[in-house]
Chain A
Amino acid sequence: MTKLYVARSPRVAARSLDGEMMIMSGQDSTLFTLNKTATILWQAADGATPLDQIVEQKICREFEVEPAVAMKDAESLARQLASHGILQLDEQPIVSLGTGEPR
């Protein structure tokens, strides 16, 4: 099975405030507020950890959900975030330029 890697886009501004992660697109200044699952995914998206590992180690533990179900949802979420330019997706590990880090 092909691995999927996720990385925070360096082209966004991100900040966590009182547990809410807010992200603004650097391209069109659209503001997003991430829910709890999306926040976990965003924070773990280091470009080096495969998505299935993030799901198993972070999401399944937090939400007590079946890995297969969680993986399907996480992949859908990752593709949705990628379509807004918030995450980068690749089948290879992603070397990030380093901005867009959560604070």
Chain B
Amino acid sequence: MPELTTEVERLSLVIEIGGMPVRLHTCDIGFLRMLENRYAGFVSNSDRAEIEFDVDLTPPGTADPDADVRVTHRQGRWRFERGDFQAEWEPQCRRGWIRQSANPYSIDAVLRITHTLMLARQGGFLLHSASAIRNGKAFLFAGVSGAGKTTISRLAPRDATLLTDEISYVRQSSDGYSAFGTPFTGELAKLGENVSAPIGALYLLAKGQENRIDPISPPEAARSLLTNVLFFAEDEQLVQSIFHSAFEFVSRVPVLRLTFVPDARVWELIG
């Protein structure tokens, strides 16, 4: 009698952001192609993966991607939920699963959350900021929506390498902090370059009548940084970890206010 079962081909790809490879497994070739396209420049040939997620695709529904995200930790397992996805990750065995429809927005949110959690354990964080490399140093430009992240990215000169116009990837290293490119885009809708550099300064953006840089007090620097760190988890240990990482960052990286008019001359002050 012939076999009645069919073997489903298991496909996978590794998306490496900030030097942290995450492998996604799927059975849907169309979804895989979409991921390859969405994360072009960040798809890696690495055999190693910090985390492996099995992606279970559900039919398209009416789930709300604008619903609040919930990230909770229980019995050694993280759970992420939003209107349009559910996911779990068990750090000890480096495995997890994601349940979502075949769209790029849900997986993007899961990756952001996953990276915030991985980074927090290492003294790093994701920051609401544009960033770019110039003259071998990375410069971060932080601010809430409308502060000018996209504008300053758009004004970047040709010798600047854009890492992101929306969410910067900050990792602690032995001699300070480095910023990495990310595929997390804002209004510019342009993926960052997948490169990194030591951070030269963090600028807090303010629009004004002239281009100028002003010092700010360490407490204000810490407050502003904490306001702009991406934070999802309802977990006391993680809050403590990110809180202390922010203070460590401001003790080692210059944090300054950058007031600018929207023209390219502001870049004469950077780098």
A residues with a Cβ closer than 8 A to B are 11, 13, 15, 17-18, 20, 22, 24-29, 31, 33, 99
B173 adjacent to chain A (CB < 8 Å): no
**Closest beta carbon of chain A to B46's beta carbon, Å:** 33
- B226 touching A24, Cβ below 8 Å: yes
Q: A28 and B234: CB pair below 8 A?
A: yes
A31 to B226, CA, bound (A): 8
Known: A27-B234, A31-B227. A13 touches B240 (CB 8 A): yes
B219 touches A33 (CB 8 A): yes
Kindly state whether residue B252 has any CB partner on chain A within 8 Å: no
In the bound complex, CA of A28 to CA of B233 (Å): 9
- On whether the beta carbons of A29 and B219 are closer than 8 Å, the reply is no
Cβ contact within 8 Å between B226 and A15: no
The CA-CA distance from A20 to B217 in the complex, in Å, is 11
**Chain B interface residue count, Cβ-Cβ cutoff 8 angstroms:** 18
- Given contacts A31-B227, A33-B219, A33-B223, whether A15 and B234 have CB atoms under 8 Å apart is no
Residue contact B247 to A29, C-beta cutoff 8 Å: no
With known contacts A18-B217, A31-B227, A13–B222 Cβ distance under 8 A: no
Beta-carbon contact of B239 and A26 below 8 Å: yes
16 A–B contacts from the bound complex (CB under 8 Å): A11-B236, A13-B240, A17-B247, A17-B250, A22-B219, A22-B222, A22-B223, A26-B236, A26-B237, A26-B239, A27-B239, A28-B234, A29-B239, A31-B226, A31-B227, A33-B219
How far is it, in angstroms, between the C-alpha of A18 and the C-alpha of B222 when the chains are bound? 11
Q: Which residues of B contact A33 (CB under 8 A)?
A: 219, 223
B141 located at the interface, meaning its Cβ lies under 8 Å from any Cβ of chain A in the complex: no
B243 interface neighbour in A13, A20, A28, Cβ under 8 Å: A13
B231 at the interface (CB under 8 A from A): yes
Interface centre among A18, A24, A25 (most CB of B within 10 A): A24
Given known A-B contacts A13-B244, A15-B247, A17-B247, A25 and B239 have beta carbons under 8 A apart: yes
Contact of B244 (CB < 8 Å), options: A15, A18, A29, A31: A15
Q: Report A-chain residues with C-beta under 8 Å of the C-beta of B250.
A: 17
Q: Does B218 contact A (CB under 8 A)?
A: yes
Closest Cβ neighbor of B222 among chain A residues: A17
Given contacts A15-B244, A17-B247, A33-B223, contact A27 B218 (CB under 8 A): no
Contact of B240 among A20, A26, A28 (CB under 8 A): A26
